[in-house]
A and B are shown apart, each in its own frame.
Chain A
Amino acid sequence: AQSVTQLGSHVSVSEGALVLLRCNYSSSVPPYLFWYVQYPNQGLQLLLKYTSAATLVKGINGFEAEFKKSETSFHLTKPSAHMSDAAEYFCAVSDLNGNQFYFGTGTSLTVIP
């Protein structure tokens, strides 16, 4: 079965600093990978997804993620954090059929003014 590990359940950054949220996956073949964001009391919103077209994936709100097969990683980054980025972030991997997702336990991002 697929699995996802998110290192760091809580990450704090200063406003304007680099955001780096880590995600490692376990898969025997290149999977499909996703990052979702969840704002308080809301559902999950898709940030970006990797579907093997390009290893560097750009998403909404200035976020991007790079697929590194050798490291089995799909880390999420943003060059400059904004207060509005404070939220919970989830990494997910889908199975080979594409219709079952496996989510990480989430990383809560705090942005310090």
Chain B
Amino acid sequence: DAGITQSPRHKVTETGTPVTLRCHQTENHRYMYWYRQDPGHGLRLIHYSYGVKDTDKGEVSDGYSVSRSKTEDFLLTLESATSSQTSVYFCAISELESGGTDTQYFGPGTRLTVL
């Protein structure tokens, strides 16, 4: 298994509070991603990073920010959590492979509940 950890694994918070989720990798991969998984929607990309301090928005980036100060860590922050952000959050990593495509490898997920 790819060396990806996410912390915390579970979190319950209240509306309006800030929340930071952490993704840590030991594979030295260039690309890192944050997804949210909701029933009926599959996985939707929130933000991704293509290097230290290089990030870009995904499909559902509103209400989220990210930072990557080191290759191994990618942080997802909810500045002011809302109930609509209750979800399971997955981090993924990838590296350019021969043939020009990447395979994404996923962490175990963080279950976030916003009350």
Interface string of A36-54 (1 = CB under 8 A from B): 1000011111100101110
Q: Does A113 contact B (CB under 8 A)?
A: no
Instruction: Assess whether B42 is in contact with A53, with CB atoms less than 8 Å apart.
Output: no
Asked if A103 lies at the interface with its beta carbon under 8 angstroms from chain B, I say yes
9-residue interface stretch from B13-21, B65-73, B76-84, B106-114: B106-114
Q: Which of A52-104 contact B (CB under 8 A)?
A: 52-53, 90, 94, 98-101, 103-104
Q: How many residues of A contact B (CB 8 A)?
A: 24
With a CB–CB cut-off of 8 A, which chain B residues contact A25?
none
In the bound complex, residues from chain A placing their C-beta under 8 Å from that of B43 are 44, 90, 103
Chain B interface residue count, CB cutoff 8 Å, equals: 28
Distance A99 CA – B90 CA, assembled complex (angstroms): 16
Q: How far is the CA of A34 from the CA of B103 in the complex (A)?
A: 8
Mark B31-51 against chain A: 1 for CB-CB distance below 8 A, else 0.
Answer: 101010000111111001010
Q: Is the CB of A51 within 8 A of B42?
A: no
Using known A-B contacts A51-B99, A98-B101, A105-B41, determine if residue A42 contacts B50 with beta carbons closer than 8 Å: no
Which residues does A use to contact B, with CB under 8 Å?
A: 9, 32, 34, 36, 41-46, 49, 51-53, 90, 94, 98-101, 103-106
Given known contacts A36-B106, A42-B108, A44-B106, what 19 new A-B pairs fall within 8 Å (CB)? A32-B101, A43-B106, A44-B92, A45-B106, A46-B103, A46-B105, A51-B99, A51-B101, A90-B42, A94-B101, A99-B31, A99-B94, A100-B58, A101-B33, A101-B45, A101-B104, A103-B35, A104-B42, A105-B40
